[in-house]
Structure 1
């Protein structure tokens, strides 16, 4: 009898050890897969920037390479700091109520400070394209609202996780989540940065839809969003015909004219028109590396939000599908990471980061091909700029840390 009992416990222990080994192998394979995708995207990004920025601002190629290195350092640091026993810091620390509160208060102070500084006319908070969204510290420019997307995702993950743990009603879950969106949205909107607010809203919607809400709530929110979208665009289009309409209103009118009537104005729709030309002339296989023409001042500031116009022109539809496929593969591994988390916070954190990345990719590409109005959102990895790279480093570093358990 004792031998049978001992054999049973031995077999049970072996099964547990085998499951543990399998889980460790899955985590290792996922880490390597994510790292491989990131590596390919960084290489393609640098190759594309070398072509896009060479004619206009060759020094941007060097800066872009530095930004890539900054991203990689942040990614490795956040992703592996949990391995150091001295610190013992993992993503789970962010689920603490006090930490969550500190993150929210810090975000409010930074965003409110940006608003006040812009109104006071502080020299290091300049007005760029009508918005007070940047801090200039000598040669370094920082866009706080871009970096704080990670803070917003952490706050939302805590909010939805608490709703699950405390079994809150669906109505209270939406109300609590909306409070976070309202706080961030109003403070960023005060800086007149509508594009970033739209991205925050897209992340919020994605996380809400992936929560415990039933289909009826998702249908209600989706229907309300469609009605508001159609009504808003109609009202804007009508208002834009009047004198005194703002630049942003006129850009949206130009978007509607271009999307439905193929009429891109030279004043407000020039960038989109040239971007569509770039994709069209690229065809299936593209013109070949460095053979694009839009970078020769035809498409202004092509190395920023419209960077994919160069890629589409030189590498064609096939190249674009390669990049989109890589991002969706990255998104897949992020979502799988969330599914395998044993706590609600980890699940929602991964979902939020996945939403943050994939919605930005979709919005940027849709803007470049004329399907969305111009929002001013950079393409992850590809667009020139350090703030976006820092944001990606933090986001993907957290995902890496979730796969080191």
Structure 2
């Protein structure tokens, strides 16, 4: 085996091990965070069983994506994005309203969240178009002009047409914002935007646009009281520990009370009606309380492993579509992990972004498994191609020590 094949094999096993450990720790954390509430309502292990059912359901698509060559999905990205948009549109007439937001579709007693599917659909859509641009040696920019002529009026030379790789994510962003779900909408648009930047787009061309978008984001925050309340609670949660900052304060208390070794699996007290959303968005707080600092560091190391070796998979991929897909999936796991842990620790405002594999959620688990399988597939294909290249290279002729000595020191 060559040095390249050894590195790719190590990358594959590191990713597989990290994903398997995240799934196992997520299942344990869901059980620990919900068995109390399930027992109170007489539905013992209800959340764990539902999570296990979604895990079993997700195994089918995950194995299918793992075994099929990832390059075939490049031909279906248009239909994937259309399907995701249709699902998001269906939410508005028949969706279930929870906490004032219409984000879920009810199916046979289970709920399905289309915005989770939109995250992966946006990655595949952007990867397909960015790969086309690089293969055709076309420049990639965030925004394009209506005309490239130099003698047209000024307004026709302004850059305000988004790159085609952002059209699908931008449409899904607007639909998810109407649910409303600002955190998920940000993830749907931010990941393809970073992919466009990685493809060679320059931020200097959109500096004025960023200023306008910043002003629009500020107006958006001011347009609804609950959004301003989240910002106020984030800036000083202890000032509003009984009202606006209650959730953040309880999360910090849970993390701090875990200490180094933790209170023990199942022995954390914050899940006893103290911390809201203890099994979903704030699952990391329960994990930190029961597993302690060592468990928290271990989770961070697992996500760092996924990010590092996911980036290595993208770097070693010689296919442009695979490179951008691996990059997008790596951002998907790393970005959501950073946002969720930062939110739980009070570093970022409270937004509805779950922690991959750790937070309770059926749709999220299925999509996470599909994304992980796709990343492993890309890594496996990289390994196969490296092995084929190594086999095609001419091998050195092995000679005996006697023949080697004669060739180096011929007798006169």
Q: What TM bracket, shorter-length normalisation?
A: 0.7 to 0.9
Which whole-Å deviations, capped at 9, do the CAs of 1:13-69 have from their partners, x for residues lacking one?
xxxxx65xx655544443322221122112222222222112112321222233333
Instruction: Find the partner of 1:33 among 4, 11, 14.
Output: 14
Q: Which moved more, 1:223-232 or 1:192-201?
A: 223-232
Q: Which residue of 2 aligns with 1:184?
A: 172
Residue pair 1:155, 1:180 contacting (<8 A) in 2 also: yes
- Residue 157 of structure 1 and its aligned partner are, at CA, apart by 0.5
- Residue 247 of structure 1 and its aligned partner are, at CA, apart by 2.5
1:354-393 mapped onto 2 (5 Å cutoff): 354-393=330-369
- Residue 252 of structure 1 and its aligned partner are, at CA, apart by 2.7
1:243-258 mapped onto 2 (5 Å cutoff): 245-258=224-237
- Residue 324 of structure 1 and its aligned partner are, at CA, apart by 0.9
1:168-207 mapped onto 2 (5 Å cutoff): 168-171=138-141, 175-207=163-195
Matched, 1:101 2:78: yes
Q: Which residue of 2 aligns with 1:86?
A: none
CA distance in 2, matches of 1:127, 1:192: 11
Which whole-Å deviations, capped at 9, do the CAs of 1:118-177 have from their partners, x for residues lacking one?
xxxx3xx21112222100012211001102211110001012112212233343575323
CA distance in 1, matches of 2:51, 2:183: 23
**TM-score, normalised relative to structure 2:** 0.79
**TM-score, normalised relative to structure 1:** 0.80
Q: Which residue of 1 aligns with 2:113?
A: 143
CA distance in 1, matches of 2:31, 2:229: 33
Residue pair 2:251, 2:344 contacting (<8 A) in 1 also: yes
Instruction: Find the partner of 1:156 among 126, 137, 140.
Output: 126
Instruction: Find the partner of 1:165 among 130, 135, 138.
Output: 135
Instruction: Find the partner of 1:63 among 50, 56, 65.
Output: 50
The structure with more radius of gyration: 2
Query: Runs of 5+ in structure 1 lacking a partner?
Result: 1-17, 83-89
CA distance in 1, matches of 2:245, 2:220: 16
Query: Runs of 5+ in structure 2 lacking a partner?
Result: 39-44, 145-161, 382-412
CA distance in 1, matches of 2:65, 2:167: 28
SS class of match (1:278): helix
Aligned length: 357
RMSD: 2.5
Which whole-Å deviations, capped at 9, do the CAs of 1:154-204 have from their partners, x for residues lacking one?
001012112212233343575323323321111211221212101113313
Residue pair 1:194, 1:375 contacting (<8 A) in 2 also: yes
**CA separation of 1:372/1:35 partners in 2, compared to 1, >3 Å: closer, same or farther?**
same
Which whole-Å deviations, capped at 9, do the CAs of 1:310-366 have from their partners, x for residues lacking one?
111122222111101101101222111111111211110000011111111111111
- Residue 397 of structure 1 and its aligned partner are, at CA, apart by 1.2
